[in-house]
């Protein structure tokens, strides 16, 4: 279709303002074609090689959360992005409560991206920090297969963030007193992790002493660094600087 338009444009020498319209239309067509091709590649891939449509599960609402206030999403709208292993761009949204990546195929149906290492990196156009799929132990020492945001990565060391939203259950009035409170989603403090050069993931250290316990042979270098830099182990920008320092050890 685009090549036909180019031919017509060349043959009839359309005026300058029409050239601009043509370029806009051509760009839109390229975008739609790319988006549609990515969708086709993804869904055809699962249908043909991943044991059918059941592998790409359609999202179904959970009854106990239907009336909850708030949102399970950090960003409530779908954003254009890319998935490792899939050509083209797709509409993506991260569900921080369920820790899943949701895909919008453009016809009001939402699907859950399987937690498969083949699709382990999800990049949103609006962000320079990708979501990556990891197997790790959380702050409760429980095994997790989930998504962490790579805040910074240098020399095999990375600062990773788990965005967190919890669901607070509804509260019924007791003994006829008080008022009913519906269930609600609530954003809570994010968890931070450190990926070391050996690829193992550990909770980000809470203080200098904990950091030195991770790098027992580098205690003096760590002391010198913090003598010259007043940094917090709770502020994200400072945690990025600490991670960049760790990458030099």
> How far is it, in rounded angstroms, from Cα 9 to Cα 3?
10
Neighbour-count burial of 61, counting CB atoms closer than 10 A to its CB (0-12 exposed, 13-18 middle, 19+ buried)? exposed
Contacts 24+ apart (CB under 8 A), 37-41: 37/87, 37/88, 38/86, 38/87, 38/88, 38/89, 38/90, 39/88, 39/90, 39/105, 39/106, 41/86, 41/87, 41/88
Q: Are residues 83 and 42 in contact, defined by beta-carbon separation less than 8 angstroms?
A: yes
pTM of the shown model:
0.76
pLDDT of residue 1: 44
Q: CB 68: neighbour CB atoms within 10 A? A: 19
Backbone angles phi, psi at 184, to 5 degrees: -145, 145
Q: Are residues 9 and 17 in contact, defined by beta-carbon separation less than 8 angstroms?
A: no
pLDDT tens, position by position, 12-35: 444 445 544 444 444 444 444 544
pLDDT of residue 67: 79
pLDDT band at 109 (very low <50, low <70, confident <90, very high): confident
Does 179 or 146 have the greater pLDDT score?
Answer: 146
Q: Token digits for 59?
A: 């999202």
| Mean pLDDT, residues 50-79 | 67
pLDDT tens, position by position, 195-223: 998 889 999 999 999 999 999 999 999 99
Does 211 or 6 have the greater pLDDT score?
Answer: 211
Task: State how far the alpha carbon of 119 is from the alpha carbons of 83, 116, 144, 203, in Å.
Answer: 6, 6, 17, 24
- For the chain, give the number of residues: 249
């Amino acid at each position: 279709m685009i090549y036909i338009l180019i031919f017509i444009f060349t043959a009839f020498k359309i005026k300058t303002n029409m050239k601009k319209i043509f370029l806009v239309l051509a760009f839109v067509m390229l975008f739609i074609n790319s988006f549609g091709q990515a969708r086709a590649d993804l869904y055809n891939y699962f249908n043909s090689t991943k044991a059918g449509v059941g592998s790409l599960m359609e999202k179904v609402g959970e009854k106990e959360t239907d009336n909850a206030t708030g949102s399970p999403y950090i960003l409530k709208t779908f954003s254009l992005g890319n998935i490792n292993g899939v050509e083209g761009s797709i509409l993506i949204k991260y569900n921080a409560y369920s820790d899943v990546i949701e895909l919008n195929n453009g016809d009001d149906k939402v699907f859950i991206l399987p937690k498969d290492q083949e699709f382990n990196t999800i990049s949103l156009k609006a962000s320079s920090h990708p979501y990556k799929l990891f197997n790790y132990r959380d702050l409760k020492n429980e095994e997790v297969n989930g998504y962490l945001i790579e805040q910074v990565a240098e020399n095999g060391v990375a600062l990773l963030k788990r965005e967190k939203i919890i669901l607070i259950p509804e509260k019924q009035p007791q003994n006829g007193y008080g008022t009913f409170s519906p269930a609600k989603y609530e954003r809570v403090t994010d968890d931070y992790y450190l990926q070391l050069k050996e690829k193992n993931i550990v909770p980000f250290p809470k203080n200098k002493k904990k950091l030195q316990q991770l790098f027992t042979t580098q205690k003096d270098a760590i002391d010198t660094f913090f003598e010259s830099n007043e940094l917090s182990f709770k502020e994200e920008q400072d945690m990025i600087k600490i991670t960049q320092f760790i990458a030099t050890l």
